[in-house]
Amino acid sequence: MASKDTIDTSKIRGAVLAEGTYTFDKMGSILYALGIGFSKDPMHRDHFKFTYENEEGFTTFPTMPVLMLSGAIDKLFSIPGMPAFNPMMLLHGEQTVINYKPITPGETLKIKAIATDIADKGKGALLTVTIQALSDKGEKYSDAIFRFFIRGLGGFGDKGVDTAQTIPAIPKRKPDFTIEDTTTANQALIYRLCGDINPLHIDPNMAAMGGFDKPILHGLCSYGIATRLVYDKYCNNDPTLIKSVSARFTSHVFPGETFVLDAWKEGNTIIFETKTKERGKATVVGAIELKQEEKL
């Protein structure tokens, strides 16, 4: 356990981890969309707006800002006020993306990664990192909020300042919508080309070191897949309806497994949970806030 002397929350909160730019280039936008399962049916014309650069209305999918972490991931291990820790103790616990303006493929935006909070969770610390995407004039396009659980760094006593409940409880009724969606056996090999090249997702030897029978799918890939399934059902082919997506990762997925997604519509919020059909494991639970209920 960490002590009060090894974690300085006053230095951590507000620390700027990285500043620079991120280009949502056309081919990268297409690769991301393919990585989360768009256009598995190449004749599905509605998916072309994410997978074909000449399609009218070609745009990025609203969860793509998660890729901005690639410019700041190494900075997580040198945050002012934080003690050194083993990268294997870092778990991605929750993810939120808040969209303010649509991002056009080819657009280069300024990014700023900030350690916005840290909280003592007993057996570990919950570190919140927010990555902002901004225009040159400072206009907000998106916030990607990452919550990492670092095992072994608990015990410093500060319960944090970010107490917002981003994921509502699952309603106590049958789902309003259920769908199955099978991932491909090489899904992780495609998704890793978006920037997350952790060998855990491709190398069987590294997966074994992590306690897995074989490489696992990226949690953020599961996040994107779940959002895609909700989008196809509730957004009337309009990605600008997705205001925010929040999710908690509860278990892993092996590439090739089948997602079973249950969804509950509560006003303008779609609460969802995904499980693996093969093992019955709950994998992601979350909520998607939509902008206009009347369009649903």
Q: How many CA atoms lie within 13 A of 296 on its CB side?
A: 17
Give residue 163's pLDDT. 67
The answer to whether domain 9-151 and domain 177-295 are alike in fold is yes
- 271 flagged as catalytic: no
Answer positive or negative: Cα dihedral of 90, 93, 94, 95: positive
Distance between CA atoms of residues 204 and 216, nearest Å? 9
The H-or-E segment that residue 162 falls in is none
Q: How many CA atoms lie within 13 A of 229 on its CB side?
A: 27
> What is the pTM assigned to this prediction?
0.94
- What is 177-295's CATH number? 3.10.129.10
* For residues 266-284, average pLDDT: 96
Above 50 in pLDDT, residue 295? no
Could you say which of 216, 225, 270, 271 is catalytic? 216
Answer positive or negative: Cα dihedral of 8, 10, 12, 15: negative
Give residue 198's pLDDT. 86
**Mean pLDDT, rounded, of the chain:** 93
* For residues 48-59, average pLDDT: 97
Give residue 296's pLDDT. 45
- 201 flagged as catalytic: yes
Above 80 in pLDDT, residue 194? yes
CATH superfamily of 9-151: Hotdog Thioesterase (3.10.129.10)
**pLDDT tens digits for range 114-148:** 999 999 999 999 999 999 999 999 999 999 999 99
Could you say which of 36, 93, 201, 225 is catalytic? 201
What string of DSSP letters covers 35-97? HTTTTSSTT-GGGHHHH-TTSTT----TTGGGGGGGGTGGGGGS-TT-----GGGEEEEEEEE
Could you say which of 117, 120, 143, 196 is catalytic? 196
**pLDDT tens digits for range 61-108:** 999 999 999 878 889 899 999 999 888 788 899 999 999 999 999 999
Q: Which of 20-34, 75-89, 215-229 has the lowest mean pLDDT?
A: 75-89
Give residue 210's pLDDT. 81
- 152 flagged as catalytic: no
Q: Bigger pLDDT: 1 or 75?
A: 75
Above 60 in pLDDT, residue 5? no
- 44 flagged as catalytic: no
Give residue 88's pLDDT. 77
* For residues 31-44, average pLDDT: 97
Buried b (16+ CB within 10 A) or exposed e, 61-98: bbbbbbbbbebbbebbeebeebbebeeeebeebbbbbb
Could you say which of 28, 71, 195, 219 is catalytic? 219
Give residue 176's pLDDT. 98
* For residues 172-176, average pLDDT: 97
In percent, the amount of the chain with pLDDT more than 90 equals 84
Sequence ranges of the domains in the chain:
9-151, 177-295
In percent, the amount of the chain with pLDDT more than 70 equals 96
